């Protein structure tokens, strides 16, 4: 059983899946900045609803961003903590890639990068870019895109779909990785893909997180 956690935005999702990534149960909610208080209790509730418990997990999967600095730290801390406590492998999955996987009709995925900026991944592109809000009409169509509700409202992304199914996609993509490499990622070195430093913090070192 794979436990998948996606907290790169205020639209948080969790999933439990079979080893091949097939979903057993999922949950999602549009919250505030209290992911640290809500995520573990909701995960335990999701497991109880299926008569499962943490010890039955065979792997942990987590969205690594880019996105909310606080949200990514919450999800990463929980996934790595459970992986360490349970002695299970952990796999980090790029969040925007998972968002696009979860919404096959979406042409782009966007997450919050700053007050006026967004992280943008166009379907088929290899890299995430940071774009200004005013450039979005040229960079991504108004619909269909996948973006958190709060970003869609702030940036005027009419018809955007929130990433409520993202954790299920994190589980699927992690299952593929584990099929090729059952050891997963190096627990000590797995970090969120911030891409830029949070407000008030100096620039990230080149190649670092």
pLDDT tens track for 118-157: 999 999 999 999 999 888 766 665 568 999 999 999 998 8
**Helices 166-180 and 95-102, interaxial angle, to 10°?**
110
CATH number at residue 8: 3.30.420.40
The answer to whether 113 and 198 have CB atoms below 8 angstroms apart is no
User: Are 67 and 112 within one domain?
Assistant: no
| Closest listed residue to residue 160, CA positions, set 95, 98, 103 | 103
The rounded mean pLDDT for the chain is 90
Q: Is residue 200 part of a domain?
A: no
Q: What is the pLDDT of residue 207?
A: 42
Tell me: cis bond preceding 73? Omega within 30 of 0 counts: no
User: Are 132 and 45 within one domain?
Assistant: no
CA distance 170 to 61: 7
Domain count for the chain: 2
Neighbours of 114 (CB within 10 A): 13
Domain range for residue 126?
A: 103-155
Q: Is residue 146 part of a domain?
A: yes
Q: Is residue 6 part of a domain?
A: yes
Q: Is residue 202 part of a domain?
A: no
Q: Is residue 198 part of a domain?
A: no
User: Are 89 and 168 within one domain?
Assistant: yes
Q: What is the pLDDT of residue 209?
A: 36
User: Are 112 and 139 within one domain?
Assistant: yes
CA distance 66 to 110: 9
């Amino acid at each position: 059983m794979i436990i998948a956690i996606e907290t790169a935005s205020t639209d948080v999702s969790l999933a439990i899946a079979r080893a091949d990534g097939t979903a057993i149960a999922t949950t999602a909610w549009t919250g505030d900045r209290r992911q640290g208080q809500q995520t573990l209790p909701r995960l335990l509730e999701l497991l109880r609803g299926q008569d499962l418990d943490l010890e039955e997990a065979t792997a942990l999967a987590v969205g690594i961003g880019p996105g909310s600095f606080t949200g990514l730290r919450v999800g990463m801390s929980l996934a790595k903590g459970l992986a360490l406590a349970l002695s299970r492998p952990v796999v980090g999955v790029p969040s925007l890639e998972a968002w696009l996987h979860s919404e096959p009709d979406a042409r782009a995925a966007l997450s919050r990068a700053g007050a006026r900026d967004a992280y943008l991944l166009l379907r088929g592109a290899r890299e995430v870019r940071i774009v200004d809000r005013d450039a979005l009409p040229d960079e991504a169509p108004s619909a269909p895109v996948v973006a958190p509700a709060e970003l869609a409202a702030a940036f005027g992304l009419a018809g955007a779909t929130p990433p409520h199914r993202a954790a299920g996609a994190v589980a699927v993509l992690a299952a593929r990785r584990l099929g090729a490499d059952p050891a997963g990622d190096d627990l000590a070195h797995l970090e969120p893909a911030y891409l830029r430093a949070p407000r008030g913090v100096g620039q990230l070192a080149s190649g670092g997180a």
